[in-house]
Structure 1
């Protein structure tokens, strides 16, 4: 029998853990020749998530848990589950049931057809605001253009299947800011995508706020491209040329017409504008330097407080 490892990060998901476990268990009871293990990764939860994991794992050998010492982030939680998975294939999905477990047989089917990675291409339900739909679509388009990976629209989902050979490659990566959505495309393995409509959260509220979304967006952009640094250099040359030509034209015009060079307001606005551009460029450079700083320290991506295996 082939074994499927299912990695589920959990941050304050006490109400969803029993639900998703039961649904996965029901699904595998209908699939022949497959057994499964679920690796829950408690990413610094403040509710009763850990107590529930300990309770349900006592009577279920197919449930494993990893408890972090604090919140290290969703991507590091998925990476931890991958590091300890032992299946012939690994499926990562969220604990809030927005990733429907009923899609698992389809993922396995595509894997059996010979694909190393099976992505899921997410479609938002009607309840999701148009702002969320449009910003997500624009972000992945922008990321595809500016980076070295080709993320399909809606492909920005951590609901995917990876063959054990792919998991071994990711396991040996030690990036401080890991971006699995991009890595799964960057590695170049044989991929296929299947569509699904995201469901509503079963219980609880999402802790994925705007600040975390912005940080995740910058991580994705800077993890796979240095084009923003070139963009900063191009902006510097362009604005310098515009300033030189514009000011030179203004001086010649003032000399020919005999008018004085005046306008302190426009001067102040120009200084503020170029100061803002300089801060943007410094900010871009600072992000890359910060990533280098974190990488060279070689601190672990996560710290495990406890596990049951």
Structure 2
């Protein structure tokens, strides 16, 4: 009974860490790699990662549901009527799809190398330092580009930045927000593009991974811990994203930069003797 409770608590911890760090510019994948190693947690198969990411996806859709529905509605209206008042939303949607396509193509090309070579805690620590540095670079930037000012070049660069975030320790939200801010976007626009971009990428990953769950022999025996981890991830992502939006708008990104420096440095020195 005690062993089962401890086992369940480990999944709750992983679900919370994944969910809370997913929207923050501190890298959820890096934290999961480190936590799994420190607590000696093994999650067989791919189902666990897919499920907790799905929890984060649901939370982000809930928060950005109005933006998402408006984009879909306005884009369809533009396609049917070519009314100029809907053109900006249509182009914004096209840019999101372009960035998604770039991420998908590069992701398929480098995913195996990353999973084989860069998933050790030491590398995650180094990547966290890189994340912290770039967040520090943009901490005081105030861009001028609004949704209507975005271009194909912006979409391509942000898509490339999101691809780099496949490396554990490089934050997805951090990479896309950094790229957007360096391109001169307003903070609100950078946030919207970053998290609306998360949605099609995650939907695609979940669709492609559906067979992995069906064929995973570990899924049904772990149904309860996976379900608890899913719900934990969903709730943690929801509240963490609310925090990130508030911190971003207030211009307090340096908090996350310092956090990445502290955690990254600690992890690098902790694992240094092993390499």
Q: Give me the TM-score of the superposition, normalised by structure 1.
A: 0.22
Q: Between Structure 1 and Structure 2, whose CA radius of gyration is higher?
A: 1
As a proportion of its length, which structure holds more strand? Answer: 1
